[in-house]
Amino acid sequence: METMARSIGFGPFLKESLGTYYDILSSQKYACDFIARYNERNCAYALKKEMEYYAFENNEVLFYEKVDELTLEKIEVIKDLFQKKHVDFVAESKDHMATSMYYVIEVDLPQHSEIISAIKRFRFYKSFKFGLEGWVNGSIILIDTTTQKGVSNPFGKKELKRLLKLHGKFIDKIVSQTTSI
């Protein structure tokens, strides 16, 4: 079952699952397998929609990449990506509130301890006009699909749990397909 899950891959399953609510973007400019983007806008209005008295937008961007081996240089490249390219994913709007950026890496977890500690210590936060026009948070998430475990910084813990739960559904799908054959 494990070899079948590896041959099919969690990435295509994740991409298909996210495709319902997320926009799947081309990853040509970025060194990853795919990018998924989610935009949410909430507003309140009085009497008519034209009489809006407040609104806010939340965005989520998920980069996914499957790698054989993770190095400290790759983590530095991801940090650089967050620092320089976050403006590509933040919608310039007076209603922008928060953007969450997650870089999900599928890799076998037995990595060097300095890599895992670098992931846990990773912080990315950028505010616009002292937070009045929103902010961006970033996280790097490692997922080991063979052991169904993962590592992330404190900001990415919720997303890590969600992705591991989704990976459990992926394994259940593989099991149901192998038992029906």
Environment class of residue 129 by beta-carbon count within 10 Å: exposed (0-12), middle (13-18) or buried (19+)?
exposed
What's this model's pTM, rounded to 2 decimal places?
0.81
Q: How far apart are CA 155 and CA 163, in angstroms?
A: 14
| Contact criterion met (CB below 8 Å) for 139 and 122 | yes
Q: Would you state the pLDDT for residue 100?
A: 82
Q: In terms of DSSP bridges, do strands 135-144 and 124-127 run parallel, antiparallel, or are they unpaired?
A: antiparallel
Q: Would you state the pLDDT for residue 168?
A: 79
Q: Would you state the pLDDT for residue 28?
A: 67
Q: Would you state the pLDDT for residue 110?
A: 62
The residue to which tokens 């939340």 are assigned: 58
Tell me the average confidence (pLDDT) per consecutive run of 10 residues in the chain, 181 residues long.
56 82 76 80 75 73 86 86 74 69 82 82 77 74 83 88 83 72 57
Q: How far apart are CA 141 and CA 152, in angstroms?
A: 5
Q: Would you state the pLDDT for residue 4?
A: 47
